[in-house]
Amino acid sequence: MQPQTTPQSLDDLLDQLVAEFSDRLSRGERDHEAALLARVPEEHRDALQRCFRMLQTGIASAPRASAPLGPGSRLDQFEIVRELGRGGMAIVYLAKQVDLRRPVALKVLRPGLALEGRHVDRFRREALAIARLQHPHIVQVHAVGEAQGWHYLAMEYVEGRSLADVYAELAHCKAPTGADLERLTGFRAGDVSFERALCALLAPVARALGVAHDLGLVHRDVKPSNILIHKDGRAVIADFGLAKGDGDPGLSLSGEPLGTPYYMSPEQATLIAEPIDRRSDVYSFGVTLFEGLTGRRPYEGANFVQVLERLRVEPPPRVRSLAPHCSREVDAVVAQAMAKAPADRYPTALELAVDLGAVADGQTTRARMREGGAWRRAKGVYVFVVDLGREYRSPGTFLGLPWVHIVPFEPAPGAPRLAKGWFAVGPRALGAVAFGNLAVGVFSFGGLAAGLVSFGGLAVGALAAGGVAAGLLCFGGVSAGHTAVGGYSAGYYAFGGGVAAKHGIDATRSDPAALEWFGRLEPALGLMPGGDALVERLRAADR
């Protein structure tokens, strides 16, 4: 990683002014506050003045400008080598842990944020929580402490490149391959496509993120630069500095939201008062995947505000709209991860990891089944796989009806309950072939089935089989039709156990009350003429 050389940001300026004020205060100087406030935009002066008051009253302390950190300086047991990078909350240095003689990544809380106890508490609390996470795909924390007014945590130093560096290199490849990813990362995925190799690389990172989520930690800044690649090809997630177990919106000293706008979830972008939960990380992970697969981020803009505005109002683009060579499987995975509404995303990073593993193995994903199923070859046979837990409507139609419409038998509130298509499955189903509690079709199967060929608890049709069946040819516990077979049967040809009545042929002994019931039933169903005359004939046959 190379040190950043960007111009001084507003956060850097505010940190510098806080340090200068602390220096002058220690020397007894009192008439410099106005001059320092004049060096920042007017809208930030109140926040800066509040910091000055905290220093003056002694309720907070800050590092002094006369003892800045830099190459060669010492902080506790760490000797700083060079700066690695900086963000809205902290500055990261490459340092050497003198007593153990090992390199570390030393993250130091910005002086301005260190003035407020809530920032320091969160910095230490989350660092200690991550320190308890012993996971091979999470950067390990070695130490947490405070020295000379600086609050720091020392982490495992990953001597390699970040995923952002890898993406920058891949931008020079016209059509990246799995071999290109292996060359840049050392990760060995075998002779597979780029998308499968990328998903194989990142699936363990998603699992690691899920472990952190199970501890109640939300990272809140998942992005390619926070995914580091060891020289052995192992990817790890770093920088839990923004991690939170509460729902307070994170702000830097300048008032900007903590996190990177390109990878923020919509709920982070709006700074809503509702808690930011694990699904926000799932969204940011989806953006990271999107960038790797398409070579660009989903939302771009000339400035911070423009990016956030596009994120709030524009629907997320699909991977295949920019990279049509990508599979529908990975397209569906990214689409579900980047869904605008949190409820439509993967509920956990672990479920996202499962689908990433499926893409890596060339298997069907739950996201693809959710969107509309997929044809898969299994033992030489092609099968159409769908997720019966969600509504599915095939894109193809005929005479205005979808070829396939499947509705869950326990649909969510407000979801449709009628499946209507040439092949229909649902609580109520209407189609050429229908399966449901109530099914109507040429071929129907259900609790109540009506059609040319019907099977169900109550079946009505030319060929009917069910607990109660009525039709030209029927089979059931109670059957009425031209040819009826069942426990209680009535028809021209009837075969039954307890009661059977058939016209013109001797029948088994029957219950007269049941015979009269069948005589009333058949005309009502419109299957056979009868009425009182049929009852008399049946009674005569019984005698």
Question: What is the spatial distance between Cα 365 and Cα 346, in angstroms, rounded to a whole number?
Answer: 12
Active site (annotated) includes residue 387: no
Q: For the purposes of burial, counting CB atoms within 10 Å of the CB of 425, is it exposed (0-12), middle (13-18) or buried (19 or more)?
A: buried
DSSP codes joined into one string, 508-535: ----HHHHHHHHHHHHHHTSS--THHHH
Name the β-bridge partners of 458.
448, 468
CB atoms closer than 10 angstroms to residue 8: 9
Neighbours of 191 (CB within 10 A): 10
* Cβ-based neighbour number of residue 275 at 10 Å: 14
150: three-class secondary structure by DSSP? strand
CA angle 527, 446, 404 (to 5 degrees): 110
Amino acid in position 322 = L
- Tokens at residue 26, please? 């220690």
Contact 366, 354 (CB under 8 A): yes
Rounded Cα distance, 15 and 283, in Å: 31
520, with CB counted inside 10 A (0-12, 13-18, 19+), is middle
For every residue of 306-337, DSSP letters joined together read HHHHHHHHSPPPPHHHH-TTS-HHHHHHHHHH
Angle between helices 278-294 and 349-360 (to 10 degrees): 30
Give the separation between CA 140 and CA 155, rounded to whole angstroms: 6
What region, left, alpha or beta, does residue 239 occupy, with left being phi > 0 and alpha being psi -120 to 50 degrees? left
What the block records as the tokens of 527 is 């299957």
Give the H or E element holding residue 367: helix 366-371
CB atoms closer than 10 angstroms to residue 531 = 13
Instruction: Name the CA radius of gyration of the chain, rounded.
Output: 35
SS3 assignment, position 393: strand
Say which of 11, 15, 221, 355 is annotated catalytic. 221
How many residues make up the chain in this entry?
543
Angle at 72 between CA 104 and CA 69, to 5 degrees: 80
- At 49 the three-state DSSP class reads helix
C-alpha neighbours within 13 Å on the C-beta side of residue 84 = 25
Enzyme catalytic residues: 221
